[in-house]
């Protein structure tokens, strides 16, 4: 019962706080970086918005994932990078400014792309999928209200009261981290009876997706002669997704908590691979 309340009532508020925290670090200049780093921004967006869902679909088919587990991992692939990716990029000595810009752009674009990708997955993998599809307009409005508007409020606060925004930045980040852990745990506890079996099904796909996409992001960046910091950042932005938003879509917008399990599993796995890339980044980049 408690996990139900946490997921359905507390979740939208928690995600709003997390996105507000991201807004407190964003300035309009971050959206102008497409003119400064056009190749890096373009590659990052292509990896995250196009290659990630395509590779995810291919892996789901390859591993034979079905029904809720398949839709859940596709929901994750449809989500943008989360604020967590900015912190990981900073810790890995990547290009934090590029990371923030990619997160901002992907968050804007996925407001529109999420319902189409998720509806495709529902029809493809669920029995009677046509009856369970997301309402496109309702989903766009919901994601806009819960993600983009809090970001805009945070940006407004930063522009008008930068001292206050900087002072609030650290406690909001800590609170965001606590919320993220609580949401993942709640999603797991909600379906604890099927957790082991779900992990057997979705775990290999989630791990493969994370490793494959982080590798693709990094090596495509190197092939296109981006510097090492930018390459690490694109790898991180391609592999670190907004799991909180994914859980919200599954639980609140679709109303199927089983679909949140693959999102939670991926979110747990990505923290381990993030730790590895932080270690690698600090070994190869010497300040």
Count of domains for the chain: 1
Would 286 be classed as within a structural domain?
A: no
In a domain, 236, yes or no: yes
pLDDT of residue 75: 95
**Domain-located, residue 91:** yes
Check if the beta carbon of residue 229 is closer than 8 Å to that of residue 204: no
Q: CA-to-CA distance for 107 and 163, rounded, in angstroms?
A: 26
Closest to 261 (Cα-Cα) out of 247, 272, 244: 247
CB atoms within 10 A of CB 52: 26
Q: CATH no. for residue 86?
A: 1.20.1530.20
The pTM score is 0.85
- Confidence at residue 5, expressed as pLDDT on a 0 to 100 scale: 56
Does some domain include residue 254?
A: yes
Residue 93 lies in a domain: yes
Domain that residue 69 falls in: 2-281
Highest mean pLDDT among 20-24, 35-39, 243-247: 243-247
The answer, yes or no, to whether residue 73 has pLDDT greater than 90, is: yes
Higher pLDDT pick, 168 / 261: 261
Give the phi and the psi of residue 221 in degrees, each rounded to 5: -65, -40
Q: Is 287 inside any structural domain?
A: no
pLDDT recorded at residue 4: 53
Q: How confident is the model at residue 191 (pLDDT cuts 50, 70, 90)?
A: low
3-state SS assignment for residue 1: coil
**235, part of any domain:** yes
Averaged pLDDT for residues 170-183 = 74
State how far the Cα of 63 lies from the Cα of 37, in Å rounded to an integer: 37
Q: How confident is the model at residue 224 (pLDDT cuts 50, 70, 90)?
A: very high
- List the single range of 52-61, 195-204, 210-219 with lowest mean pLDDT: 195-204
Select the more confidently predicted residue: 254 or 179.
254
Name the nearest CA neighbour of 267 among 18, 21, 1: 18
Structure tokens, 92: 């890995």
Q: What is the DSSP letter of 92?
A: T
In the chain, beta strands by DSSP E: none
Within-domain flag for 50: yes
Contact indicator for 104, 131 with CB cutoff of 8 Å:
no
- Rounded-to-integer distance, Cα 52 and Cα 6, Å: 29
Contact 245, 58 (CB under 8 A): no
* 3-state SS class at 127: coil
């Amino acid at each position: 019962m408690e996990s139900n309340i946490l997921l359905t009532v507390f979740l939208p508020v928690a995600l709003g706080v997390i996105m507000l925290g991201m807004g407190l670090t964003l300035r309009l200049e971050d959206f102008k970086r497409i003119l400064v780093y056009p190749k890096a921004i373009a590659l990052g967006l292509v990896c995250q918005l196009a290659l990630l869902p395509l590779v995810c679909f291919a892996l789901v088919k390859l591993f034979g994932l079905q029904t809720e587990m398949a839709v859940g991992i596709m929901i994750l692939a449809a989500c943008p990078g989360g604020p967590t990716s900015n912190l990981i990029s900073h810790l890995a000595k990547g290009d934090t400014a590029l990371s923030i810009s990619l997160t901002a752009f992907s968050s804007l674009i996925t407001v529109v792309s999420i319902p189409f990708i998720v509806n495709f997955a529902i029809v493809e993998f669920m029995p009677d999928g046509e009856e369970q599809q997301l309402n496109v307009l309702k989903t766009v409005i919901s994601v806009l209200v819960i993600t983009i508007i809090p970001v805009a409020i945070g940006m407004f606060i930063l522009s008008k009261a930068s001292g206050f925004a900087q002072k609030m930045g650290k406690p909001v980040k800590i609170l965001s981290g606590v919320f993220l852990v609580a949401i993942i745990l709640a999603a797991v506890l909600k379906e604890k009876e099927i957790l082991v079996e779900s992990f057997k099904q979705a775990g290999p796909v989630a791990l493969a997706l994370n490793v494959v996409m982080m590798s693709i992001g990094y090596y495509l960046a190197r092939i296109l002669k981006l510097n090492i910091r930018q390459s690490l950042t694109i790898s991180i932005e391609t592999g670190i997704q907004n799991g909180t938003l994914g859980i919200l879509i599954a639980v609140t917008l679709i109303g199927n908590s089983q679909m949140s399990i693959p999102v939670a599993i991926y979110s747990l796995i990505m923290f381990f691979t993030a730790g590895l890339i932080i270690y690698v980044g600090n070994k190869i980049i010497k300040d």
